[in-house]
Amino acid sequence: MTARAPSIPYQPRGFGLALETAGAWLLALIWLLPLLYAFWTAFHPSAYATRFDLTAPLTLENFVAAWNAAPFARYFLNTFALVTLILACQFVLCTLAAYAFARFEFKGRDVAFLLVLLQLMIMPDVLIVENYRTMGKLGILDSIPAIALPYVASAFGIFLMRQTFKAVPRELDDAARVEGAGPLQILLKVYVPLARPIYIAYGLVSVSYHWNNFLWPLIVTNSVEARPLTVGLQVFSSTDQGVDWSIICAATLMTSAPLLIGFLLFQRQFVQSFMRAGIR
Amino acid sequence: MTGRTNRLEALHAWLLLLPAMALLVLFTHWPAVGTFIDSFYSTPRGRRRSIFVGLDNYQQMVADPIFWQSLTNNLWYALGTIPVSIALALLMAVWVNDRIAGRALVRMAYFTPTVLPMIAVANIWLFFYTPQYGLLEQVLGAFGVPAHNWLGSPDTALACVIVVTIWKEAGFFMIFYLAALQQISPVLAEAASLEGASRWTYFRRVQFPLLMPTTLFVLVNAVINAFRTVDHIIVMTRGGPDNATSLLLFYIYEVGFKFWDSAYAAALTVVLLALLAAVALGQYVFLERRVHYR
């Protein structure tokens, strides 16, 4: 593609290219500015939080202070348990349901599928009042399963898997059946392996969504034992103990670090996953 | 024989569906219906049980200035975030699609806000907006602009929140445009250049129409996000100052979990659900028309 690049029309050249490059870089710089500012503040003593001086000493003190000021280790553990629980349940439930929608003929299938798609519009994020009451009745308020439950049966996941399974050639299915495999065996031996890239894509999207989710966990949790990172960060940074921005910035970067580092290392996979999961 | 295998197949299918369906009913369908029912009852308080009150909650809502302000705020918020973030996303995609120097780095810069938690983003921007020593004030101060409390004054608070949302969303929408741009056949560009079309004409007449499905997809996502994401409101302004940044879902959160008035919160949720349903319906109608047009 690069070899014949000069012949591609509408690729800017010369002055136009320079102008476009400048614009793109300027916007990129503006885009990174707030983040760079947070980095600067987090890695320098608070005396330099808002004073820019290239000779300012670098320090990790702020991270140590943040780590010691709140039970972040526990929050990390909670978030880790939360995203693992959600992802594992989503994989199982969505795979089973998608298989039924993709490869079974039965009465009421279209109605059932429509009921599933309804969740794309009425998301659990909106039904906070009723879901809170349900969790109260189930007696599991302030627990990690309570955060996870409304999201486990994901319409988006079912839809995505169904599209993928529908694209699997029927012949493979029939061949397995002739060899005497039952429906579940066919699912595990034929469909799931073929859908691997979609599982990875969906997994990345799901993990980043639930790592970052805030409102519902804020409502439903109440204690250090159940609180995920996002809520922990909010509790930590909203207590009025004389705002030390250096420490708050450090805590903020710390909570986002796993996803941020993962993104920087596996950029292509991240972008492709978000794209694949979005475009379907 | 076939009748029996059919019934067996249907049984298998429903067994496969059962776990997902049960959870969907419990946490999506039932709560949606329950919200609707609860909006006609009073909130149970202490020993007082909840009783049927007809349209009382809705009457309260119509007379509630904070509800109207949250709704108008939300519409302004949608109007402020959606067109700008979509236009920026398109611009970013076009730029990153061209062979500019260091485009991988530029693309990374645009996309990074997407992977950050909204609450972390809000914290970072809260600091950015801080009166006196925040970066914004320092930069503007260098240009001689008088000091201003950006998040603290009702005139600018909503705009500040809008900027944050645009910053977070544009890079996300960019990747969809980028994917769509890369799928446009180069033959079209060659044909257009043979016809002597300018780059702007090529964009307006060829690229932009071909990107329509992407624009629709992004638009629907942006609209839904405008009504369901309030994390940054909770962190940055708590709806203030003077309800200037209160969005509908934030108000529902306040009514439901600060004032514990679940019946009124249910009535407010019904409005939010109706808005989301209108979006879905609009998308459906638009898609139908496009199919007929083709």
Please tell me the predicted confidence (pLDDT) of residue B80: 92
- Domain assignments of chain B as residue spans, ordered by start: 67-293
Domains of chain A (ranges, CATH numbers): 66-279 (1.10.3720.10)
Q: For B202, which residue in chain A has the nearest alpha carbon?
A: A10
Interface of A with B in 152-171 (CB under 8 A): 152-153, 155, 158
pLDDT at B293 over 70: no
Tokens matching residue A255: 């909570």
Tell which wins on pLDDT, B284 or B82: B82
pLDDT tens digits, one per residue of B175-209? 888 888 888 888 888 888 888 888 888 888 888 88
The whole-number average pLDDT for the span A173-197 is: 87
Q: With bands split at pLDDT 50, 70 and 90, how would you rate the model's confidence at A79?
A: very high
pLDDT tens digits, one per residue of A137-172? 999 998 999 999 999 999 889 988 998 898 888 888
Q: With bands split at pLDDT 50, 70 and 90, how would you rate the model's confidence at B2?
A: low
Please tell me the predicted confidence (pLDDT) of residue A8: 66
Choosing among 3.50.30.60, 3.40.50.11540, 3.40.50.1820, 1.10.3720.10, the CATH entry for B67-293 is 1.10.3720.10
Please tell me the predicted confidence (pLDDT) of residue A1: 42
Minimum-distance CB partner of A271 among B23, B102, B111: B111
Please tell me the predicted confidence (pLDDT) of residue B288: 62
The pLDDT > 70 percentage for chain B reads 96
List chain B residues with CB under 8 Å of A245. Answer: 127, 130
CA gap A206, A276 in Å, rounded = 13
Tokens matching residue A144: 């990690």
Three-state DSSP class for B41?
strand
Substitution target in A29, A53, A121 with the highest count of B β-carbons within 10 Å is A121
Q: For A32, which residue in chain B has the nearest alpha carbon?
A: B109
Longest dimension (CA), chain B: 87
Cβ within 8 Å, pair A8-B186: yes
Mean pLDDT over all residues of chain B?
86
B281 touches chain A (CB under 8 A): no
Q: For A187, which residue in chain B has the nearest alpha carbon?
A: B16
pLDDT tens digits, one per residue of A2-32? 444 445 677 777 777 888 888 889 999 989 8
Q: With bands split at pLDDT 50, 70 and 90, how would you rate the model's confidence at B82?
A: very high
Of the candidates B94, B67, B53, which has an alpha carbon nearest to the alpha carbon of residue B178?
B94
Q: For B262, which residue in chain A has the nearest alpha carbon?
A: A129
Please tell me the predicted confidence (pLDDT) of residue B20: 93
Minimum-distance CB partner of A131 among B27, B135, B175: B27
Cβ within 8 Å, pair A106-B127: no
Q: For B257, which residue in chain A has the nearest alpha carbon?
A: A219
List chain B residues with CB under 8 Å of A260. Answer: 112, 115-116
Cβ within 8 Å, pair A12-B98: yes
Is the peptide bond preceding residue B241 cis, with omega within 30 degrees of 0? Answer: yes
Cβ within 8 Å, pair B31-A5: no
CB neighbour list of residue A126: distance below 8 Å, 6 or more residues apart: B227, B228, B249, B269, B272, B273, B276
Q: With bands split at pLDDT 50, 70 and 90, how would you rate the model's confidence at B72?
A: very high
Q: For A246, which residue in chain B has the nearest alpha carbon?
A: B127
Please tell me the predicted confidence (pLDDT) of residue A92: 94
The pLDDT > 70 percentage for chain A reads 92
CA gap B33, B30 in Å, rounded = 5
Q: Per mean pLDDT, which range of A83-92, A197-206, B59-68 is the poorest?
A: A197-206
Distance from CA of A64 to the nearest CA of B (A): 18
Q: For A278, which residue in chain B has the nearest alpha carbon?
A: B176
Q: Per mean pLDDT, which range of A42-51, A131-140, B13-22 is the poorest?
A: A42-51
pLDDT at B279 over 80: yes
The whole-number average pLDDT for the span B128-137 is: 80
pLDDT at B216 over 50: yes
A131 touches chain B (CB under 8 A): yes
Please tell me the predicted confidence (pLDDT) of residue A148: 93
Distance from CA of A261 to the nearest CA of B (A): 10
Cβ within 8 Å, pair A93-B23: yes
pLDDT tens digits, one per residue of B15-49? 999 999 999 999 999 999 999 998 998 888 877 88
pLDDT at B290 over 50: yes
Chains A and B form CB pairs within 8 A to the count of 277
Whether the complex's predicted ipTM surpasses the cut of 0.90: no
- HEC profile for B199-267? HHHHHHHHHHHHCHHHHHHHHHHHHHHHHHCCHHHHHHCCCCCCCCCCCHHHHHHHHHHCCCCHHHHHH
Interface of B with A in 47-66 (CB under 8 A): none
pLDDT at A46 over 80: no
CA gap B21, B195 in Å, rounded = 56
Interface of A with B in 30-69 (CB under 8 A): 31-35, 37-38, 41, 49-50
R_g (Cα) of chain B, nearest Å:
24
List chain A residues with CB under 8 Å of B171. Answer: 31
